[in-house]
Each structure stands twice: as structure tokens, then as C-alpha cells.
Amino acid sequence: MQIEILKSKIHRAVITEANLHYVGSLTLDEDLMDAANLIENEKVQVVNVNNGERLETYLIKGKRGSGVVCLNGPAARRGAVGDLVVIIAYATMDFEEAKKFQPAVVFPKEGNKL
């Protein structure tokens, strides 16, 4: 049996930008991506703590060390600069493998720094 489980989570990052006139996606500081074991173009769920909005999109690498968390395209309507978000990625794996799997969980500090 295959199940979907938490693979990666960035807990309570702060939105730094919202760019409505972009093709779409979430731009994320490459340091945060590495720490959470995320890769460019990976599908993620973004949960806005401030307003309860949830959306699915994909990742674009942001400048390393910049702290950038930017909602692009239509996603820019789902949050505002300063909102707290949880960024989540899931993985599908065998049930027994999933029992042993440990997700990467990151708790950013001020400025979305590690």
C-alpha cells in the first residue's frame, strides 16, 4: 500500500513579497529550500496562518540568504506581505517505509533566516 505523508515543512515563514503580475508560483530563499529538503518546481501547499487561505503551487529558487517568500501570480491574492505561512510538501511511499520516515521541518527565525 502507498500512502501520502509529510515530507517537508517550513513552519511560520513570513511573506516578504506578493507579485501579481508574474506567471505564478512561490519564490523561496534557496537556504530555506535546502534546509527543508525542497527542490525547484516541487509542488507545495501554502497555508496562510493569518487568513486561513490554502493554495497549491510550485517552487522557484529565490536568492540564497535573502529570506524571500514571494507569492507570485494569482497566489498573490491569497496573502499579504507580513502574513505568516506554513509551506508543506508531501511524498508518496510504501506504508512500512513511511513508518520510519522523518520529515524535514524548519522553523525560520526573524527575516526568514535559519
**Catalytic hit among 22, 25, 66, 90:** 25
Are the beta carbons of 67 and 16 closer than 8 angstroms?
A: yes
Does residue 37 sit in helix, strand or coil?
coil
- Please say if 90 is a catalytic residue: no
> In terms of Cα–Cα distance, which of 21, 17, 106 is closest to 63?
17
**Catalytic hit among 8, 22, 58, 66:** 58
Name the DSSP letter for residue 63. Answer: P
Beta strands, E only, 15-96: 17-19, 25-29, 43-48, 54-62, 69-72, 84-94
- Please say if 25 is a catalytic residue: yes
| Residues acting as catalytic residues | 25, 58
